[in-house]
Amino acid sequence: MVMEAGYFDEGALVGVLTAQPLDRVLDYRAPEGGCQLGAFVEVPLGPRKVLGVVWGSGKGDWDIAKVRQVIRVLDAAPMRDELRAFLEKAGDYTLTPMSAMLRLATRAPGLGDPPSMRKVYRLGHAEPSRMTDARRRVLEALREYGGLSFTLKELAEMAGVTTSVVKGLVTQGAVAEENSPRDLPFPRLDPDLGSKELTGDQAAAAETLRAGVGSGSYGTVLLKGVTGSGKTEVYLEAVAECLRRGRQALVLLPEIALTAEFLTRVQARFGAQPAEWHSGVTMTERRRVWKMIGQGGAQFVVGARSALFLPFRDLGLVVVDEEHDTSYKQEEGVLYNARDMAVLRASLCGARVVLASATPSLESWANADAGKYDKVELTSRYGPAVMPEMRSLDMRAEKLPSDRWISTALQSAVNARIEKGEQALLFINRRGYAPVTICRACGHQIGCDHCDARMVEHRFLKRLVCHQCGETKPMPEICPSCETEGRLAAVGPGVERLTEEAVKLFPDARVATLSSDMFGSARALKAEIEGIAQGSADIIIGTQLVAKGHNFPLLTLVGVIDADLGLQGSDLRAAERTFQLMRQVAGRAGRAEKSGVALLQTYQPEHPVIRAILSGDEEGFWKAEAGERRHAGVPPYGRMAGIILSSSDVQEAFDLGNALARQDAPLRRIGAQVFGPAPAPIARVRGRHRVRLLVKADRGTPLQTALRQWVGQFRLKGDMRLAVDIDPQSFY
């Protein structure tokens, strides 16, 4: 970015970036009173008024007589150079138009609204003419909190009185009623409040992280430690140091369901809760968070990946917890990986990054191995907890009937746990009742009308659901193909079917099922998880959801129903994913005093990945995996980009795909290769046909520039869409 003058006088030409899908920055005249570089403004665009950001001086390549004036400057802190640079670099990296990048950075409603006010109440100067019990309680509540003010409802609730009591005190001047901006700053956090006494390992790790934050410069640390080793305790010390230095901290979590437990820990550690930023946050609260982060009224944010695009005033630390988690990759709209973007943003604002995981991604492992990232390690669980013993159960010897999935060995292990009053988790990474519904008369498998995918039966919902597009339909009575009645059958297990089996096998046990689609709200899920942690169930049946960071102290047995499931894909990360997932799930067992066991049901116990999981030889696994990827020239040792063409017309998608493959000169110039076009593994989604190409290049080549030239040779016709996925994580 060219450094620009920081201020534009009234009438000066400014370039304004808007979130409208135009591929350019538009010229305007600075409004009355002028405007700052980075200012959020409202500008006329055709007949409309739209939000924009002053991106620099105007180019002057527009008919000067037609240049219109900025309508007004909005009441928000101007976007800082650092964030503008971040959006540009991230847009360059992911080949995303700037308008879409700006949309990511302005995802809060009512940014243009004038600051709205609300009434708040604080202690007044007069004494009430007549003191009642209720009135005394109100005044005491206010005195207790010093000079703080509250809304009418809060104050009445705190004092246990009706709002009319407060109103009465206002008339008397004993309570003062004031107007205050609605978007209030967040409570201050106290970094020196309640830190736990750290073990030797933890203290050393915390010291490294603290020193990093203290340096005030960019750097990334991989914080590796088995589940339950105290990674969270340790990185909270880095957050504390960041807060002491007056800088802002951001912690990214892969799953909203994990926030509740985290908030409680922050409250205990710092005396107040951080700001939250994720899809479960209300619109008004989003606006408050967005504004307060820009004004410095929020010191600490916990959120989902999109929190990276918040207008931090002085971001000093980003923690990416469970950094290997695939949900950090956004798979729709702007295709970015929050882990990589965290590193980019931190490097631009002199912040530290902590990547925390028990099972790091191969990318991070390789970066640490190459010395690009620092690495600190916690090798043992905190307290008496030890890592669970892991064993495989060879399913070939079991000879189970085709509608049963719990082996006799696993069954008796579960029974033994229940007898001791402990919990067992049965893990299966498949939502719904059965992945396939087949007609026993004609062999037809029920598919989605809009996607090239099978419909998954969900008995809980009494419907068939497409996991691609979300389309649902009632379970039919007759086969949609041959119209035979009563021959439709469920094939294979999902979490609901496993529950059915468990209820039969363990009639006296309390069985709880945890799957992301079974809870209407995040709150209901949180309540269920808390209940389970306190022992409300004997057997937990769960999907991937339970693999992530929850603490179940009574849980001592994990049974993995199908350890081979993830190994079947052609995905280059299949081995890595299976390794991570199995280790994570196993890590749920024995987190408190009781030791745990993890049993993996498998048909291929001698598979190298299964062997690596069982032996716990992580370094060995990573080295072998790294060797294979290096040999194949794939990430992180080579670069890849996926091109996804989608169109309602399959022929047009293939025609464009073939043209791209033919006209590959820009790619050949950097030695990159194109593969495809080929139908995507899921060749139709929401009625659109999908065709993929894959580009492979050496590390260190200017891949984005070449891709831009290559793709830029073509104009998209009709409803054709072209998406470029840099470093693709999934190949669906």
Positions touching ligand ADP (CB under 6 A) are 196-199, 202, 225, 227-233, 382
User: What is residue 712's DSSP assignment?
Assistant: T
Query: Least distance to Zn ion from the beta carbon of 448, Å?
Result: 3
Is 471 an interacting residue with respect to Zn ion (CB under 5 A)? yes
Distance CA 166, CA 151 (A): 11
For ligand ADP, the closer CB: 322 or 562: 322
Residue 233 contact among ligand ADP, Zn ion, none, beta carbon within 5 to 8 Å by kind: ligand ADP
Residue 199 contact among Zn ion, ligand ADP, none, beta carbon within 5 to 8 Å by kind: ligand ADP
Among 26, 73, 451, 660, binds Zn ion (CB under 5 A): 451
What are the CA-CA distances from residue 291 to residues 43, 297, 304 (Å)? 20, 8, 17
Is 331 an interacting residue with respect to Zn ion (CB under 5 A)? no
For ligand ADP, the closer CB: 287 or 588: 588
Query: Least distance to Zn ion from the beta carbon of 279, Å?
Result: 22
For ligand ADP, the closer CB: 216 or 384: 384
Question: Euclidean distance between the first and final Cα of the chain, in Å?
Answer: 36
404-412, 416-424, 451-459, 573-581 -> range binding Zn ion (CB under 5 A): 451-459
Among 36, 94, 364, 468, binds Zn ion (CB under 5 A): 468
Residue 191 contact among Zn ion, ligand ADP, none, beta carbon within 5 to 8 Å by kind: none
Query: Least distance to ligand ADP from the beta carbon of 262, Å?
Result: 9
Is 456 an interacting residue with respect to Zn ion (CB under 5 A)? no
User: Given CA atoms 62, 67, 71, 72 in this order, what sign does their dihedral have?
Assistant: positive
Residue 471 contact among Zn ion, ligand ADP, none, beta carbon within 5 to 8 Å by kind: Zn ion
For Zn ion, the closer CB: 384 or 470: 470
Is 455 an interacting residue with respect to Zn ion (CB under 5 A)? no
What are the CA-CA distances from residue 501 to residues 72, 430, 437, 440, 497 (Å)? 64, 15, 18, 22, 6
Residue 450 contact among Zn ion, ligand ADP, none, beta carbon within 5 to 8 Å by kind: Zn ion
Give the H or E element holding residue 676.
strand 673-685
Query: Least distance to Zn ion from the beta carbon of 520, Å?
Result: 22
Is 446 an interacting residue with respect to Zn ion (CB under 5 A)? no
For ligand ADP, the closer CB: 351 or 378: 378
Residue 57 contact among Zn ion, ligand ADP, none, beta carbon within 5 to 8 Å by kind: none
Asked whether the beta carbons of 218 and 347 are under 8 A apart, the reply is: yes
For Zn ion, the closer CB: 161 or 456: 456
Query: Least distance to ligand ADP from the beta carbon of 513, Å?
Result: 24
Helical H runs in 271-386?
A: 283-295, 338-349, 362-369
Give the H or E element holding residue 224.
strand 219-225
Query: Least distance to Zn ion from the beta carbon of 322, Å?
Result: 29
Contacts of residue 342, Cβ cutoff 8 Å, sequence gap at least 6 = 252, 308, 318, 320, 353
Query: Least distance to ligand ADP from the beta carbon of 696, Å?
Result: 36
Give the H or E element holding residue 661.
helix 650-662
Query: Least distance to ligand ADP from the beta carbon of 225, Å?
Result: 5
Is 438 an interacting residue with respect to Zn ion (CB under 5 A)? no
For ligand ADP, the closer CB: 231 or 431: 231
For ligand ADP, the closer CB: 195 or 484: 195
Bridging pattern class, strands 117-123 and 374-378? unpaired
Is 466 an interacting residue with respect to Zn ion (CB under 5 A)? yes
Count of alpha carbons within 13 angstroms of residue 23, beta-carbon side: 3
Query: Least distance to ligand ADP from the beta carbon of 553, Å?
Result: 9
Q: Which of 171, 193, 181 is nearest to 151 (CA)?
A: 181
Distance CA 610, CA 395 (A): 13
Residue 468 contact among Zn ion, ligand ADP, none, beta carbon within 5 to 8 Å by kind: Zn ion
Q: Which of 458, 629, 420, 644 is nearest to 543 (CA)?
A: 458
Residue 327 contact among ligand ADP, Zn ion, none, beta carbon within 5 to 8 Å by kind: none
Query: Least distance to ligand ADP from the beta carbon of 228, Å?
Result: 4
User: What is residue 196's DSSP assignment?
Assistant: P
Contacts of residue 300, Cβ cutoff 8 Å, sequence gap at least 6 = 186, 189, 239, 243, 248, 249, 250, 251, 266, 270, 274, 275
What are the CA-CA distances from residue 389 to residues 81, 455, 556, 562, 717 (Å)? 51, 37, 10, 18, 58
Is 253 an interacting residue with respect to Zn ion (CB under 5 A)? no
Is 680 an interacting residue with respect to Zn ion (CB under 5 A)? no
86-94, 260-268, 279-287, 443-451 -> range binding Zn ion (CB under 5 A): 443-451
The interface with Zn ion within residues 489-518 (CB under 5 A) comprises: none
Among 156, 358, 448, 691, binds Zn ion (CB under 5 A): 448
User: Given CA atoms 644, 649, 650, 656 in this order, what sign does their dihedral have?
Assistant: negative
User: Residue 284, Cβ neighbours under 10 Å: how many?
Assistant: 14
Query: Least distance to ligand ADP from the beta carbon of 12, Å?
Result: 52
Contacts of residue 673, Cβ cutoff 8 Å, sequence gap at least 6 = 667, 695, 696, 697
In DSSP notation, 500-536 reads: HHHHHH-TTS-EEEE-GGG-SSHHHHHHHHHHHHTTS
For ligand ADP, the closer CB: 231 or 696: 231
Question: Phi, psi at residue 542, to the nearest 5°?
Answer: -145, 160
Is 469 an interacting residue with respect to Zn ion (CB under 5 A)? yes
The residues of the shown chain that bind Zn ion, judged by CB under 5 A, are 448, 450-451, 466, 468-469, 471
